[in-house]
Structures are given as C-alpha cells and as structure tokens.
Chains A and B, each alone.
Chain A
Amino acid sequence: MEALFDAAPFTGYVFPNETVIPWSLMIVIYPYITGLVAGSFTVATFYHVFGVPRFRPVARFALLTSLSFMVFVPLPLLLHLGHPERAMNVMLTPHLTSAFAAFGFFATFYVVLVFLEIWFAFRENIVAWAQERKGLAGLFYRVLTLGSYEISATTRSYDAKWLKALAVIGIVGAHGLHGYVGFVFGSLKSREWWGSDLMPVIFLVSAITSGIAILITLYVLTSRVRKVPVDLDCLKGMAYMLWGFLIFTIVLEFLEFANMVYKGREGVETIMALVAGPLWFSLGVLQMGFAVIAFFIMSYFMWRSTQDRQLVIGVTVSALLMLVSVLAMRWNVVIGGQELSKTMQGLLYFHPPLLGREGLLVMVTVFALPFGLLWVLTRLLPPWVPKLDHVPSR
C-alpha cells in the first residue's frame, strides 16, 4: 500500500505528531508567487502613480506579470488542502478570528482590481485592435471594448484618472496582501521561528525584491526574444529599486535573527543548531550568500557606472540570484519553522518528495504555469505596442 504520509527523521526530543510536517512545498511556493505579484505591481505603480517615465517600457508588462502570477496564487493552496472542494467555505463562512479568513476576499478583490487596471491601461489599443482585426481575434477585442469605441481627450483623461486611482488602491492591495501573508506566519505564537513582529515586513520587502527581480529577468529575456535593445534607463531604474529593496531585506532579516539570538530565550541553542544544521545551505548560502553577492555586483556597477552589455548581464545575474534568494527565504521560513520542534529540544529534517500532490514536480509545474499564462497574455495584449502619445497624469 502506498504510504499516506512521509515521516521526517528527527534528533533530540520532538512531539510525536510533529514528525509529519504539516506544511510542505505548496506552502513554500504560495508566498513566493504572492510576492512576485506584489513586487511586479510595485514597479507598474512607479509609472502609473508616481509618473516615473523611465519605467514606461515595463509598466504594462508588469501589470500582465502581476496578473499572471496572481491567478495562480490559490492553486498551491488548493493542492495543499485535504478537502479542496470545501475551499469555498472560507469565503461562505469565514471565521473572522483566523488570519486566513480574509484571504479569499483579499485575493478576489486584488484580481478584479488588476483586471480593471489592465483594461484601462490597454483600452486605447483594444479599441484600435477591435477595429483592425477580423474573425475570432476581432470578436475578442470587440467584446473587450465593452461597446465603447470612443477615444478623445475626455476619454483619455478619464482613463488616466482611473488608471491612477486603481493603481493607488492597488499599491495598498498588493502590499496589504503580502504583508498579510507574512502575518499568517508571524502571528503564530506556537513557533519561535515564525512568531516575530518583523515577519510581515520582511515578507513584504523580500516580496518586492523578488517581484522586481522577476520583472528584470523577464524584460531582458523578452527583449532578446523580440530582438530589440534593452532600454538601459528603464533597466537601471529597476536595478536601483532592486538594490534598495535588497538592502532592506538583508538588514531586516539580519535584525530579526540578531534579535532572536541576543534575547537568547529558552531553546536558543536549538535555534543555533537549526541554522547550523538543516538550514545551513538554504539560509547561509542561498538566502544570505546570494543576496550579498547580488548586492556587491550591483554596488560595484553603480560605483563604476557600468554601461551597456555588461550592465545588462550584471543586473540580470543579480536579479536571478535574488529570485533564488527569496525562494530560499520562503523555504527557510516555512520549512525551517517546522524543522524546529515546538519542544525547542529537537530538530526535524524535511526531505521534499519528488512525486505526489505536494511534491517537487508539482511545485515546478505550479511555478511554470504563470509564465505560460503570461505568454498568452502578451499575445492577446502586447504590452510593447506604444500607447499613442500617452503621458502619465501627475
């Protein structure tokens, strides 16, 4: 008979029920994807709200990226649930004291908001495509126009106003959503590794870091595929953002750990054993090491004001390093927290299964799906087509 669960080996003393790790890979990938949503939306708002013109080449692409990932945020959760068919109960009968009760509402609200934002951002193009295209594609765009073909100074200012207003709400929404994911972990007093006041903030800044990183990577990649030069001004803007937020991330993560060690509460020896044991590679090398390397690469480039091809390569490498670093951070929080026993006198060792509903294969698939959707979306709504003489409203 196929085993229904994997039991984790342990050292020291752990509570007997703890040997089956409750939250595994799906809960690692869930905050990671949510983070990418928040981060890429942040870049978009820099253009739509703050009117920073250098972000124009990626502003609409960032919105599509944000939506592509957001659509798949619930998937790992559904895969994790014992009874996914009862998932709607969370919204039908939300238990309001639960940090998780509002997730469905938050997520739905945010998806609707990003949809609207995208619609306003692409409205003029949609109207143009509806008139140009024939057949099924034409019908698709005609439906998308919602019957309004008017483009004038009035509609333009109306669109811009909505775009800005929605983006302002979106900033709150995207950051609220992700800070909230951090709260899901940080609000638990049962786990020393999670129950930190800094947790939501760390989740948020690392999320923005990862979102900028994925956008840099995708922008450079798509530019190569489209055989157009990378807009260096735009890339530099994103690199500055990445640099800034990654400093925030490293400092906050360090502060949190320093706090834990300095306070030295009961069981701190076990925390040190966790860091030196099961987490040494994912925390020491992947999370912290990669972030520090990315920091030095970018700082060096800023100091030397590197340009052109070198800059593109350097920034992309740093972005890739940060993508791995933030994924490792999610692992270290979610898995690390459970590898530290609630007894504070033992450690568990989680080995991810390859197969199964919550295995590595499914995790990779879940992470690949948003890229597929993004590919489709960029076909339907090419974000690279210029929006005729549009200037962001101030």
Chain B
Amino acid sequence: MKLKRQAFDPDRRRLLRFLGRVVTYASAMIASLGVFGRRGLAGAGPAFPATDYDWTKHRWGFGVDATRCIGCLRCVEACKTENGVARDAHHFRTWVERYVYLKGEKLPRVDSQADPGNIAASGSEKEYRFDNRYKDAKVEKAFFVPKLCNQCEHPPCVQVCPVGATFRTPDGVVLIDHDYCIGCQYCVQACPYGVRLFNQKYEVTDKCTWCYHRITRGLKPACVEACPVNARIFGDQNDPESPISKFIRENRVQVLKPSMGTSPNVFYVGIDKEIV
C-alpha cells in the first residue's frame, strides 16, 4: 500500500518549526555542558603551543643509540618530572629495557626499571634504578634499550580513536586533546609498543609527546636533555645538518616492529634481534 502525498498544512509546518527549535536548543545545551566539563592535564603555564611556531616547517625525528645507553634512567626521571607522570611503576612515557644474554642461554633475560626486583633495589616505586642481579652470573652480552613513543607515520592509536581526540601533527608528533578524550582506552589497546598509558586522576589517556611544549620552543625533549651519554638523539629531519639527520645518514638504523606497518619515527642503532 502506498501512502498518499498530503498537502503541507500550516499546522504541520508550525510543528516542524517547533521541533527544529527543540533540536537546536538541545544541541546547544549539550555543547555547553561539554565546555563546562573541560579541564586540562597541565596546570597554568606559558601559552601552548608557542605562538610563533609553524608546524608545517618541521619534521621531528628521534634516534636511540643503544650502544651508548648505560641504563642510568635519568631520562625516565626527567620525563616524569617534566611531564607530571604518576610516580609509580605502572605509568611511563619512556622507559629503559635491559637485555642480558647469559652464557649457555639462547634467549635474553629482559627487564625494565618497573621490574619488582629493581623496585626493591631502589627502595621505592618513585625511584628508578637497575639492580645488580647479574653480578655473579656469566654474562655473554648485555645492553639497554630506551623506549618511547615512536610517533608513527601510520599510528594505529590515532586510527582507532572514536572521537578524533588524538591526532598526528604536521611536524610528525602524535598528540592527545585531553579535553576531548572520552577515556575509552581503545588507543591504549591499539599501540603495538605499549607506549600509551592511562591517567587515572584525570581519566584520560596519556602518552609521550617528545615534550612537544619544549620542542616547539627550540628546546630538546627532557629525556634527551638529561641523557649523560648522548644515547638519545633529537632533531628536525627537514634540516640535513640536524643531529637526527646525521644520525640516520651515518648509521644503519632500525625501527621497532616494522611488520606492523606503522612506520615509526624513532630510529635505533645497536639493538638485537630479540628486541620486543
């Protein structure tokens, strides 16, 4: 049965106009609720992002020279302080892994500063150090591998965000709008590198930004600044003379989990086949 086409009577028009108004007011109310509900992660600070910064002019890159890292964990300390990351063993924007091959063993033993043994050695979850557990062991090969956000070209975390609260900037850094994040943690699941973390205090996701508030002002990320042995290299890939451009040019570099198709922007030197 077909419905007959009816003449558009004025009553109906009035009703439609009324309904239109209801929808408009309702959306305005919902939108304003969103505005009042806003709160930032960072407290009062200098204007962010820096006003004279042009993000189309840069392409940031990060290098890690694992042959240099001594596992002092000053980078972890610096990052926690700089970015106000929770001082415990479960929230890190950057961390360091220790790989130790013992004589006669095929696979390395892996731990990070968050390992219970290392926490026991430091005496607190707020202090970071590696213990001396291999003191009497026959070590064949050992090295440290610093980890941080890879700021991927094809970030799976950005792909899965249902509201677009996380995004990749034109200068190549993946950021989160903490005022827009709904806290579903889908991105935490999607990151193959385990880099994303959840801030339980503000109930939003958090991640390493390569200290975006610093690099847009011409400063180095806090971890790079704190590293005493230059194991962390940072710079603009658009500038051929920058430390990172030189690092990539002069070394055979690797990225983590290349099979994921994420095209990471942290380039490693001196890592081994068993790196996770």
Contact = CB atoms under 8 A, between A and B. Distances in A.
Contacts of A305: none
Given A15-B193, A20-B198, A22-B188, A7 B182 contact: no
Contacts of B158: 97
Q: Chain B interface: which size bin?
A: 35 or more
B201 interface: yes
Contacts of A184: 186
Contact of B110 (A13, A82, A93, A101): A13
Interface string B202-240: 111000000000000000000000000000000000000
Interface string A1-28: 0001101000001111111101100000
A121 B161 CA distance: 39
Interface in B47-71: none
Contacts of A83: 37, 181-183, 203-204
Contacts of A99: 160
Query: Chain B interface mostly helix, strand, loop or mixed?
Result: loop
B160 A98 contact: yes
A56 B265 CA distance: 61
Contacts of B34: 85-86, 89
Nearest to A96: B164
A110 B151 CA distance: 38
A22 to B, nearest CB: 4
A82 B183 contact: yes
B159 interface: yes
Q: Chain A interface: which size bin?
A: 35 or more
A80 interface: yes
B193 A93 contact: no
B170 interface: no
A109 interface: no
A340 to B, nearest CB: 12
A16 B92 contact: yes
Given A89-B163, A93-B164, A344 B276 contact: yes
B242 interface: no
B111 interface: yes
B91 A17 contact: yes
Interface string B150-165: 0000001011111111
B198 A189 contact: no
B203 A100 contact: no
Contact of B162 (A101, A190, A338, A341): A101
A142 B37 CA distance: 41
A158 interface: yes
Nearest to B201: A4
Nearest to A161: B1
Given A7-B90, A86-B34, A13 B160 contact: no
A87 interface: yes
B194 A94 contact: no
B83 interface: no
A73 to B, nearest CB: 15
A261 B161 CA distance: 31
B72 to A, nearest CB: 17
A98 B203 contact: no
Contacts of A89: 34, 163, 165, 180, 182
Interface string A50-89: 0000000000000000000000000001001111111111
Given A16-B95, A86-B180, A345-B110, A95 B189 contact: no
19 contacts: A5-B198, A7-B89, A20-B198, A22-B189, A82-B182, A82-B204, A85-B37, A86-B183, A89-B180, A97-B160, A98-B186, A100-B162, A158-B1, A184-B186, A188-B160, A188-B189, A338-B189, A341-B194, A342-B194
Given A82-B204, A89-B180, 18 more contacts: A4-B200, A14-B194, A16-B95, A17-B195, A22-B188, A23-B189, A88-B30, A89-B163, A89-B182, A90-B162, A92-B30, A97-B158, A98-B160, A189-B260, A189-B261, A190-B156, A190-B192, A191-B189
